[in-house]
Chains A and B, each alone.
Chain A
């Protein structure tokens, strides 16, 4: 029971519930399907990013380049499809995005897994490289006319309805992609040998190597997988926004990592859950979209997120410190 109470997931879930209760008191209209679909919509891209960030954190690394991969992928995909094969259906656009993302992720993979460079520095470098390359050699103008496949995907809804007051709500089909990404990652982490190996490397690289895990191979897979997810998120972002803006997305990376850490993943590696990650993303989206409902002006939004990060990471850190002091 004590472990349940001290877990980050519980803390985050309680904060979410408290937030919703307070919001419902100050505005009864808050508890509606429309709010739920709005929040789900806000969490689609962030959720896919967070799943990728989680798997890297579990493996003991950190990746800050995924937003640049996403921006690069969406821009190049939109441009290539427009120019060469506008007849491609929506799923082909998603596949292409995943392919480009995988290639960019593989660059991180080679530098980190094969050459053994520190993950933070490599991805900091590739963040600049991917973004700089795109903006210098490919283009800086927004693509406002997306290829037909991406436009079609942008209009796809799984749920549509009318509110009591006559306004409409809808849930974008891309939400299913996010769910799929979460499920697939759960299967990889908890139902395959590869997943056990990712946890093992995050726990201790040296121990993992001594029990015969192919550390380089697993690390390479992790960065390619993050690239695939980032590419996917990029295409979805552009489809939903109905424009491919090369200046979008980059800058989100630290908020995504914060959401994942809020959900209990550790920067030192080896720890992290998908439940926590989903809750962390939900909380960040809630604060971004609905702080105003609590009567807090939106100018205070970043203060609120900052305080959440400090409390969310400070409480477990402080508990761990106290436990260590008691043991000593």
Chain B
């Protein structure tokens, strides 16, 4: 059957999402052309979204296996608190100490991910509960380490990852682009990625195909932990401080973005390009609404409505195709 290019584009989740992102962009540009289309707005958007976009990437990787990682924000804050402690303890260190702190943070993130992975893979806990519990533990350790207050007073070099530009492009954006590209390549071009998606689509078939499921799941959660720690570094650098309860609203936002991006929360399907489009849609909406003078709470309302709307459209499309 011949399909027009347009209907073929809209047949895929990502295609529809690209349409939505474009509509939102044009709408916002039409409502506030002077402010929305300014270079300043693009720069500020590019600084804002990478932190939760990286968390959404972490969520995507775990969701592809049919799991979820509710501990990403806990991991981000714990690794930020540890990096911050290193940065404030060291005196007079230059860029060297920053590198050490970042490496330690990513190490902590990977250890936390390893803990999640062992819970899910070796002990067989449902991911949602394992990461809910471990997330409380990570947050709790961060609270216990800091007594609940913010850690601040870093060397100037700390600001680089979150607040500087490289060749005119904001560093967090470059970081996100590199990570997104890397995850996309891992998912589509490596054996690990194929196994991961296969397990998500059909765990039993994956076991009969002699995939080492345990090792694969552990790697997935370690990857998710490392990504969460990187997001934590961006937040720490932008806020110039670390605290146990930063970004608590980012958890639901990360789930929302992943699902909006077409990732099937039951596993098996999801593409990084969809997640990127979902992030852009969210950021266009959020910045645009901000300019029109809509409160933060209305943003929450609109995000929720958008999520449900996209789900209705997706379900309706699949049903229409079946009949």
Which of A's residues lie within 8 Å of B, judged by CB? 111, 115-118, 120-122, 124-129, 131-133, 135-136, 140, 251, 254, 257-258, 261, 267-268, 297, 299-310, 313-314, 317-318, 320-321
Contacts and interface: CB of A to CB of B under 8 A. Distances in A.
Given A121-B259, A124-B255, A115 B312 contact: yes
Contacts of A307: 133, 137
B311 A313 contact: no
A129 B305 contact: yes
25 contacts: A111-B308, A118-B266, A121-B308, A124-B256, A126-B304, A128-B256, A129-B300, A129-B305, A131-B301, A132-B298, A135-B300, A136-B301, A254-B132, A267-B128, A303-B137, A304-B140, A306-B134, A306-B137, A308-B133, A309-B133, A310-B129, A310-B133, A310-B134, A313-B129, A317-B125
Contact of B70 (A140, A254, A268, A320): A254
Contact of B144 (A128, A129, A257, A303): A303
Contact of B308 (A126, A302, A318, A321): A126
Contact of A133 (B147, B148, B301, B307): B301
A131 B148 contact: no
Nearest to B301: A132
Nearest to B309: A125
A121 B311 contact: yes
B123 interface: yes
A135 B252 CA distance: 18
A132 B304 contact: yes
Contacts of A131: 297, 300-301
Q: Which 4 A-B pairs have the closest CB atoms?
A: A132-B301, A128-B304, A306-B136, A303-B140
Given A254-B70, A258-B132, A301 B307 contact: no
A310 B123 CA distance: 10
Interface in B42-77: 70
B232 interface: no
A321 B298 contact: no
B295 interface: yes
A309 B136 contact: yes
Given A135-B297, A303-B141, A121 B307 contact: yes
Interface string B119-140: 1000111101110111111011
Interface in B268-316: 294-295, 297-305, 307-308, 311-312, 315
B265 interface: yes
Given A122-B311, A124-B256, A267 B129 contact: yes
A301 B244 CA distance: 14
B254 to A, nearest CB: 11
Contact of A116 (B140, B297, B301, B315): B315
A302 B129 contact: no
Contact of B129 (A116, A135, A261, A318): A261
A301 B294 CA distance: 37
Contacts of B312: 111, 115, 117
Contacts of B125: 310, 313-314, 317
A29 to B, nearest CB: 26
B133 A117 contact: no
Contact of B305 (A118, A125, A308): A125
A310 B130 contact: yes
A216 B133 CA distance: 32
A321 B124 contact: yes
A310 B125 CA distance: 8
B301 A128 contact: yes
B143 interface: yes
Contacts of B259: 121, 124
Interface in B139-184: 139-141, 143-144, 147-148
B295 to A, nearest CB: 6
Contacts of B135: 306
A128 B129 CA distance: 22
- Residue from A115, A118, A303, A307 with most neighbouring chain B CB atoms (10 Å): A303
Given A299-B140, A302-B136, 10 more contacts: A118-B265, A121-B259, A131-B300, A131-B301, A302-B139, A305-B136, A306-B140, A308-B133, A313-B126, A318-B124
Contacts of A251: 248
A117 B141 contact: no
A321 B136 contact: no
Given A124-B307, A306-B140, A310-B119, A129 B301 contact: yes
A258 B302 CA distance: 28
Contact of B297 (A115, A140, A310): A140
B133 A136 contact: no
Contacts of B128: 267
B298 A267 contact: no
B61 to A, nearest CB: 18
B308 A117 contact: yes
